[in-house]
Structure 1
Amino acid sequence: MSQHAHLLLQLTRMLARQELRGAPLSMRLCTAYVRLARAERGAISLGSLGDERALLCATDEPAARYEDAQDLAGEGPTLQALRTGAVASVDSSEAHASTWPRLSGLSPQHPAHVHALPMRPDGVVVGVVTVHFEAAGMLDEEQESLHFLGDAVGAACLGQASYDDDSRGLWSERDRVAQATGAIVAQLRVGPADAAAILRAHAFASDASVHEVARRVVSGELDFSRDPYGGTQ
């Protein structure tokens, strides 16, 4: 199984965990991302490249306060990533203070190791996922995995996975998506919103339309109660 497929399978199973049920979908996605990234805390913001952002969720109060401090300071990793479309990160308190001095002054308890990654499920920035780590240093393959996982979470949040324009308005296609969503609900015992998010994330990851993934689910070709990638569990 490829690393990307493994990450997506882990994300799917994380959303299905009983301990995360009851929270808003955005919070479950954020919590799942933070855990899979082996980070301490995190937050998801929505917004387009160079535009204002809206904080969607944060895993805890320190993460929320850090995001609020960025708005007050007018600078910080989340804002920088959204303005530039590039990853914004630092790996020490000194680097944090020199890169974002106003933010460091407003947030003396700032994380020393923070990474803000633009979410681009369709090649267009739709938001930023920001994570705080306890230790510095990250391998190139770990950064690449975080990029992929962030894009998958963006697709799950916003439904940015590609659709076939010619079939978007066909009732048969809509019915198939509804059937597939119901099948995922039954397979994983999750709510409809979670099932739809999983459908979108898998469509993004497989570079397919939501309708195509729905067809595979309805036909039984794709079953999330088993390993959908055919690997070992």
Structure 2
Amino acid sequence: MTPRVTVTRARHPGGTARHRRGRFVPGGPGTRVRSGRPEHAKEAVAVRPRHDRGDSGDGHDRAAEEIAGWLWGAGPDEVPDRLCRAATRLLPVTGVSVSLYARGVPVRLAASGAQAARLGDIQAALGDGPCHTAALTHRTVLADDLTRGPDAARWPVFAQQATDAGVRAAYVLPLGAAAVCVGTLDLHRDEPGPLGAADLRTARVLARVTTAALTVLVREDAPWPGGRQAEIHQATGVVMAQLGISAAPALARLRAHAFAEDRTIRDLAHEVVRGRIRFDGEG
């Protein structure tokens, strides 16, 4: 049975300034947690595997411990990036990204590289692709071959643009609880092929750690790096006001305009928010 992963606030003996509130440290020697309550002096956040019915977890434990090691000492704005780097080390994938998902738009928090960022931009602009399907269905989406067959037919425009960007397979895991998806963990490869059963289990451990980390940080009111992607929501509001329409058609207008001009929706939103592009024919 796969162990559940918890993120708890912990205290460390003899803590120094680097163990300050809001930092991530892995559970291990010198970290004691009893009944969910930490002991000792300095606060931090511990990422620790948790078992049900006495299961040892084996390889899953090792994956969770390695992920915890990657999060050692990370500040809130560093966590998504470190999780991406951990995923590229733990899994046979080319790239990784972590995104929040709100109002039909993936808001990227981190990406392992330009290709992963580009894949997210494509899906944000199209409003279609594996990340949208995973977020809306709350299910893992495994697109083993975007070059042909059912995966290419499922999202034809996305598949074409993804393969043009050098992506041949995509695997997306929803983040959150069974009934609520708060984001996605997006993995991709530059060659088609399935993600093996053991690798999929590791990816699910990583997704649980990511979800737990996001939950803790949101509770602490920690700032998240939205960057220009946060402007997509602002731009949607601007178009709503300019055209007197609701959010869904306003977002559709933005996506259609971005697609027609072969630009990312993030760049278009930036121009709209600053008043350089209008949708009501004025200016």
TM-score higher than 0.5: yes
1:45-124 matches, cutoff 5 A: 45-47=99-101, 51-92=104-145, 93-95=147-149, 96-107=151-162, 108-120=164-176, 124=180
- Computed over aligned residues only, the root mean square deviation of the Cα atoms, in angstroms, reads 3.2
- Kindly indicate whether the alpha-carbon contact (under 8 Å) linking 2:134 and 2:140 is maintained by their aligned counterparts in 1: yes
- Kindly indicate whether the alpha-carbon contact (under 8 Å) linking 2:144 and 2:195 is maintained by their aligned counterparts in 1: no
Point out 4+ residue stretches in structure 1 off by more than 4 angstroms: none
User: Gaps (5+ residues) in structure 2?
Assistant: 1-55, 224-283
Q: Deviations over 1:59-106 (max 9, x none)?
A: 111111111011222211111111111112211221443221111333
Alignment partners' CA distance in 2, 1:42 and 1:10 = 17
Alpha-carbon deviation of 1:130?
0.5
Alignment partners' CA distance in 1, 2:207 and 2:63 = 11
User: TM-score if structure 1 supplies the norm length?
Assistant: 0.59
Alignment partners' CA distance in 2, 1:110 and 1:90 = 14
User: Gaps (5+ residues) in structure 1?
Assistant: 164-192, 194-233
- Kindly indicate whether the alpha-carbon contact (under 8 Å) linking 1:121 and 1:151 is maintained by their aligned counterparts in 2: no
Alignment partners' CA distance in 2, 1:102 and 1:134 = 18
User: TM-score if structure 2 supplies the norm length?
Assistant: 0.49
Deviation larger for 67-76 or 7-16: 7-16
The AA in structure 1 aligned to 2:61 is: A
1:147 matches 2:239: no
Residues 1:120 and 1:37: Cα distance change in structure 2 (over 3 Å): farther
More helix per residue: 1 or 2? 1
Query: Given the alignment, which residue of 66, 70, 74 partners 1:14?
Result: 70
- Kindly indicate whether the alpha-carbon contact (under 8 Å) linking 1:41 and 1:59 is maintained by their aligned counterparts in 2: yes
Alignment partners' CA distance in 2, 1:134 and 1:61 = 13
Alpha-carbon deviation of 1:155?
1.0
- Kindly indicate whether the alpha-carbon contact (under 8 Å) linking 1:44 and 1:129 is maintained by their aligned counterparts in 2: yes
The answer for the alignment partner of 2:276 in structure 1 is: none
SS in 1 for 2:121: helix
Size of the alignment, in residue pairs?
161
Residue identity over aligned pairs, in percent, reads: 22
The AA in structure 2 aligned to 1:118 is: P
SS in 2 for 1:159: helix
- Kindly indicate whether the alpha-carbon contact (under 8 Å) linking 2:169 and 2:188 is maintained by their aligned counterparts in 1: yes
- Kindly indicate whether the alpha-carbon contact (under 8 Å) linking 1:42 and 1:63 is maintained by their aligned counterparts in 2: yes
Alignment partners' CA distance in 1, 2:202 and 2:176 = 14
Bigger relative contact order (CA 8 A; separation at least 6): 1
